[in-house]
Copies of this chain bind each other. A is one copy, B any other.
Amino acid sequence: MPSSHCTNHHHCQETALATAEAHCDTYGERLTPNRRDVLRLIWQSHRPIKAYDLIDLMSAQDAKVKPATVYRALDFLLAQGLIHKIDSLSAFTGCSHPNQHDDCYFLICHSCGTAQECCSPLLADAIKSEAKQQDFKLTRTVLEIAGQCAACHEITPHMAGEEAR
């Protein structure tokens, strides 16, 4: 696993939940049981997880959780900057640093399915500068880099085409 600029997914689940609690306290938001459950499951997955996989995980044999329940929690967590949506995967992943939520990018490995959250002020500045040159007022940047992570190509250099799972 490459060393990361940011804390990454191994950043333990409990820490993330504690951070989220603190964040919500600070901003007067409520981390309700539903929202907490969704956030915990997102952190329990070591790769981006899809909404309907969350629904399945939350559904016991008797009590089926409905899409709206999960999507509402996801909307809340996104609004609070506690998670990211990876558009190129239609999947969700925890945010390691809710207070500097922007300027992140993701390294998405086709082999192991992980999406490492990274920050680079240099890259963020380069992007802002490009936008400025075009006289474009930037409000959100999506940077998703797909390929193969260090761990995977070191282990299986000949299997560069392998897919996750």
Contact = CB atoms under 8 A, between A and B. Distances in A.
Interface of A: 2, 4, 87-88, 105, 107, 109-110, 116, 118, 120, 122-123, 126-127, 130-131, 134-150, 153, 160
Given A2-B135, A87-B88, A140 B130 contact: no
A150 B134 contact: yes
Contact of A147 (B2, B140, B147, B160): B140
Most buried by B among A2, A139, A149: A139
A136 B147 contact: yes
A142 to B, nearest CB: 4
16 contacts: A2-B134, A2-B136, A87-B88, A87-B142, A88-B142, A107-B131, A109-B136, A122-B126, A130-B145, A135-B149, A137-B153, A137-B160, A139-B146, A141-B145, A142-B142, A142-B143
Contact of A120 (B118, B130, B144): B130
